[in-house]
Structure formats: structure tokens, C-alpha cells
Structure 1
Amino acid sequence: MARIRLKDLRSLSVAVVHPPDANGQTILDQLGRIGCRTDHIWPPEKGLASKVDVVFAGVFFDSQEQMKAMLRRAEKPAPAIIAVIDYENPAMLELVLELGAVAVTSKPVRSFGIMTNMVVARDCQQRQIDLQQKMAKLEKKLAGQKIIAKAKSILMEMHGFSEAAAFETIRKQAMSKRTSIEDMAQAIINANELLSGKPVDV
């Protein structure tokens, strides 16, 4: 498990989207003590600055649509959202989930717990980013395998190759052209489409 270092927290850019009241000020003061780069935003229509890592989002029913719109416009990867709420009921909890919060702090806000929420939120955010990257790699790999399978099928049909021989042909051609096997497979598919006059689904 990665060790949490104070200097890692100090490197974060944190937005506090909350009215300028005692609760909002408590958050700002504690972030100042930690050493984070902070930006106080209210109302949420103003939007987030670029490259924000963590957002303390005040949850209010009368500004929920503006808050949702602001968070949707945030740069990718999306910041970790810490909801700041004043009471618990089903409607409030539903709104917290809709905002995509990964941590929650309640009012009246105390200094104690703000750092913990930031660590938890940041860790959850990083796990989400890692999972998204892994999913993207898997999707790319599956798409590449599909393209290779289609190219092998074309060579097997056109030249009577075995599956192994078709793959070896694609591999050798890719090496000679100094390109990837996936790109060579796509070139074979494109050439087959051109010769047949019919697009081939991949």
C-alpha cells in the first residue's frame, strides 16, 4: 500500500465550491494549514479552474443543477468530489451520489477529518483512473485481436492458408514494413475491401 506523504497533499489543487460562510472558511483555513493550492468558488456557475484535483462541493438543492453542470465541465481526469452536507435524508444522499462524490463531510465542518477525507477521496480517484486506463487497454487489445482475426480469415479464404500460416504471414509483413501486427492486419482488410468493392465489417 502506498504511503501517504504530506508533500503529496500539498501538491494538490483543491477547489472549495461553497458559500463564504463559517463552514466554507473552516475548509479553506484547514487546507491553508495543510499547504494545498486552493480556489474558493461561489456560486458554482463560475466553473472550475483547469487541473483541479479535489473539489469540496457544498450540496444544496437550490443550486444542484449548476453544481452538476460545473462538475460535468471539469477537465479529465475528473477531480475527486468531497460532498459537504448539512443533513441526511434519502433526497440528499441521492444528490450526493449523482454528483459522483467519493467522500462526504458533514456540517458544522470541523478541521478534524478534512485531511482524512482528502486522502480517501484522492485514493478513490486514483483507483478509478487506474481502472479506466486498464479498461481502455483491454478494449484496444480486444479490438486489435478482432482485426487480426478478420485479416487471418481473409488470407485463409483467399490463399488456403492455415490459421497459423495466416498469422505468420501477417507477422512477417508487419516486421518487414516496420509496423504493428494490428496495422498490417487493417491494411489487409482495407485492400480486400478495395478489391471486392464491398466494405468488410470488423
Structure 2
Amino acid sequence: MQNQYKSNNSNGLKVLLLIEHPHYDHDLQNALLTCGYHVYPRLTTCSILKVVDEVIPDVIILDVDKLSNESIHSLVILNQIDPKPMVVFTEFSDQIMIQKLLNSQINAYIVGDKLPHHVGPTIQVAIARFKQVQSLQSELIETKRKLDGRKWIDKAKGILMQHKGLSEDQAYKTLRKMAMDNSQKMDDVAKNIVSVMQAVN
């Protein structure tokens, strides 16, 4: 089994193709090559996390009928530490495997269709959905960070108002000046003030 298969009509994207057997059906691989992907076939019995680190794929595609719990667990971990678009192509619908794979945030689950004119759009949609989900998650994380930062700023303002006799506006301006003078974010300055006061008390 070759380590890599290149398409002459390349779109520049690398696909890690996870397969169950060394002598596998090449239909999906050929469809991927036709669509312009660089294909890196690897066995699911290998360490998936190690293979991902080696190949650094843009997309992970599984051409499988069964997956071990260990493989599914690796995909779940991968989704937590280094998320990638993931698409499963299989010959049989397996509700148990689908349920387990949902935890790994797969972007598409396709049964029995490996024709190039279907494979290409399926992967494009999966990648688009993946990017959309990642963008939404980033927005949520940023929103939570801002809300958390605002809480720290409000606490620090309260401390300055109480101990320095400042108005709310003066306390805010003091925090902002301290942040600018120290090249820090306001919420970091606020956390320091709160931490110092908690240590003193």
C-alpha cells in the first residue's frame, strides 16, 4: 500500500483515508483522486492520532463498515485537541456506530455512494459545515471570555470605588490607564487587582 496518492488535478487538500483492510476497495480513493485530493490511505488499526500528526490532513475520511471503540475514542480525542472535517463512507448503516461517532463530531455519514460527482460535493459541504461549526464555537468562546472579563472589571471597579473613593467612571478610566501603561488587557489588570485584594484580606 502506497503512503500517498496524488491527483493530477489537485485542489491542494490532503485527505487522510482511513481503511479497515490492506486490500481495500479503491472506489472511494479513485473518486477522491478524480476530485483533485491528495490521498493518504492508512489502516484504522494504526494509531490514528499518530497518523494525523504525521500526515497533517485537511480532511479525514473513513471508508469503513466497522470501527473499534479504540478508533472511535481516538476520533473523539482528535476532535477535542485538533478538530478536522470528518466524513464516513460505509456500505452498511450501523445505528450503534453512528451513535458512537456522533461524539466525534462527524460532518457527514454516507451509505453506499462513492461516485466522484457525489463524493466531491459531499466533502465540500462537510468542510463548509465544519468551518461553520468552528466559527460558531470560536464566537461562543470569545463571547464567554468577554463576559468573564466584564465580571472581573466590575469587581475591580467596585474595589477601586470602595478603597479609592472613585466614581464608577473614574474607576473604569483608572483601569484602562493601568492596562495601557502595562500593555495588558483590562480584564487581566482587573484580575490582578482582585487577586491582590483577596490576598490582603
User: Is the Cα–Cα contact under 8 Å of residues 58 and 83 in structure 1 kept in the other structure?
Assistant: yes
Question: Where does residue 174 of structure 1 map in the other structure?
Answer: 179
User: Is the Cα–Cα contact under 8 Å of residues 89 and 113 in structure 2 kept in the other structure?
Assistant: no
Alpha carbons of structure 1 residues 82 and 177: separation in structure 2 relative to 1, 3 Å: closer
Number of equivalences: 185
Deviation at 1:157, TM superposition (A): 1.8
Moved over 4 A (4+): none
Q: Deviations over 1:111-165 (max 9, x none)?
A: 3311011101110111121112112211221121111111011112213322222
| 1:100 aligned counterpart, secondary structure | coil
Q: Kindly provide the amino acid, as one letter, of the partner of residue 169 in structure 1.
A: T
Q: In structure 1, list runs of 5 or more residues that go unmatched.
A: 1-8, 197-202
Alpha carbons of structure 1 residues 14 and 183: separation in structure 2 relative to 1, 3 Å: same
- Match among 44, 48, 52 for residue 49 of structure 1: 52
Q: Kindly provide the amino acid, as one letter, of the partner of residue 76 in structure 2.
A: R
Q: Deviations over 1:168-197 (max 9, x none)?
A: 22222333334332232223223313332x
Alpha carbons of structure 1 residues 185 and 103: separation in structure 2 relative to 1, 3 Å: same
Q: Deviations over 1:9-34 (max 9, x none)?
A: 72211111123322xx1111122223
CA distance in 2, matches of 1:73, 1:80: 14
Alpha carbons of structure 1 residues 11 and 73: separation in structure 2 relative to 1, 3 Å: farther
CA distance in 2, matches of 1:108, 1:118: 12
CA distance in 2, matches of 1:101, 1:143: 31
For the pair 1:130 / 2:135, whether they are aligned, the reply is yes
User: Is the Cα–Cα contact under 8 Å of residues 105 and 114 in structure 1 kept in the other structure?
Assistant: no
Question: Where does residue 24 of structure 2 map in the other structure?
Answer: 21
Instruction: Note the aligned Cα RMSD (angstroms).
Output: 2.4
Deviation at 1:99, TM superposition (A): 4.1
CA distance in 1, matches of 2:101, 2:153: 45
Deviation at 1:108, TM superposition (A): 5.7
CA distance in 2, matches of 1:185, 1:103: 44
Q: What TM-score, normalized to structure 2? A: 0.79
CA distance in 1, matches of 2:151, 2:121: 45
Matching of residues 1-202 of structure 1 within 5 Å: 10-18=11-19, 19=21, 20-22=23-25, 25-47=26-48, 48-50=51-53, 51-61=56-66, 63-74=67-78, 76-88=81-93, 90-107=95-112, 109-196=114-201
Q: In structure 2, list runs of 5 or more residues that go unmatched.
A: 1-9
Percent of pairs with identical residues: 21
